[in-house]
């Protein structure tokens, strides 16, 4: 089914508008000054909420399904991101982020119908460790890689993740996931203009929580679901941007570093993007053939 004008408005228009407002509030015209991570957090989380409402409506609280929790976990993520703008202590950022990310898999999966309790706790513990470790690895990278290259790459990663989730059998969630790319592109443009970091201290935290939750849903809820290999590569792709920090590539926002980041991230994304594209083409061809008869 083709997107309707309402879909375009809620999946693209409103998320972009909110991201523009958030970035303007961060005053990107102050060249050389870091954009607040809270603004990136608002853009990312708010964009996903707009898309989620369009696809599923506002879920009841407490949510009855795993994916409905995604709508509500954005609230504590943005609150902690906002608190980081006022509480500068590193201990607060580490403890609050770790507790929040560790709680997300538990909240989402504690009532999910696994084959055994052992499998349930394996997913909860594994998801918590993976999300905390991913954030711990990406946060210092966000502080080092100034400018718009990192949020741009995160936008590409979440866009490919949306395609993978659609191919995995959840079209509605895939569209909502892919829509997060648009506010991230706005964040990237603002960060490029200001030449300052944009996703550190809040932005990476919000992305980590939602990205992890979406990958969990894409694998467990879809039929056939996002394969483990593709899920792993999607999660690893942003981490590959660390290769842009090797010595000898110039300043933090140099074109050489941005180029290396882009090449390695796209290389890791190539396989899941290929699988998603070929899978969607196969589905489209089968649908066309069925209508031909």
What distances in angstroms separate CA 63 from CA 25, 69, 109, 210, one per listed residue?
32, 6, 12, 16
170 Cβ contact partners less than 8 Å away, ≥ 6 residues apart: 67, 217, 218, 221, 222
**What are the domain boundaries of the chain?**
5-225
pLDDT, one tens digit per residue, over 190-211 is 988 887 778 888 999 999 999 9
Q: What is the pLDDT of residue 290?
A: 54
Q: What is the pLDDT of residues 134-180, one digit of tens each?
A: 999 999 999 888 788 999 999 999 999 999 999 999 999 999 999 99
pLDDT of residue 230 exceeding 90, the answer is yes
What pTM value is reported for the model?
A: 0.93
**Neighbour-count burial of 94, counting CB atoms closer than 10 A to its CB (0-12 exposed, 13-18 middle, 19+ buried):** middle
Q: Which of 36-40, 115-119, 155-159, 284-288 has the lowest mean pLDDT?
A: 284-288
For residues 180 and 19, is the Cβ–Cβ distance under 8 A?
no
Euclidean distance between CA atoms 207 and 39, whole angstroms: 12
């Amino acid at each position: 089914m083709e997107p309707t004008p309402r879909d375009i408005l809620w999946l693209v228009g409103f998320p972009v508008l909110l991201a523009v407002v958030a970035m303007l509030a961060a005053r990107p015209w102050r060249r050389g000054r870091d954009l607040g991570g809270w603004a990136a957090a608002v853009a990312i989380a708010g964009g996903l909420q707009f898309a989620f409402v369009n696809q599923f409506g506002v879920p009841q609280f407490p949510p009855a399904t795993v994916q409905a929790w995604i709508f509500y976990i954005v609230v504590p993520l943005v609150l902690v991101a906002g608190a980081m703008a006022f509480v500068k202590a590193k201990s607060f950022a580490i403890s609050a982020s770790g507790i929040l990310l560790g709680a997300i898999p538990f909240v989402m999966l504690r009532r999910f119908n696994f084959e055994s309790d052992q499998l349930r706790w394996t997913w909860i513990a594994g998801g918590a460790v993976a999300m905390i470790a991913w954030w711990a690895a990406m946060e210092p990278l966000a502080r080092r890689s100034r400018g718009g290259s990192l949020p741009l790459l995160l936008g590409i990663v979440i866009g490919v993740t949306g395609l993978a989730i659609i191919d995995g059998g959840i079209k509605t969630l895939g569209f909502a996931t892919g829509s997060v790319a648009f506010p991230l592109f706005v964040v990237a443009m603002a960060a490029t203009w200001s030449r300052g970091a944009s996703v550190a201290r809040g932005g990476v935290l919000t992305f980590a929580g939602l990205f992890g939750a979406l990958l969990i849903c894409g694998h467990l809820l879809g039929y056939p679901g996002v394969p483990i290999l593709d899920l792993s590569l999607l999660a690893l792709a942003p981490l590959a941007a660390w290769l842009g920090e090797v010595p000898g590539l110039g300043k933090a926002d140099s074109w050489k570093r941005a180029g290396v980041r882009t090449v390695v991230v796209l290389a890791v994304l190539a396989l899941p993007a290929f699988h998603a594209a070929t899978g969607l083409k196969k589905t489209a061809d089968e649908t066309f053939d069925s209508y031909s008869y």
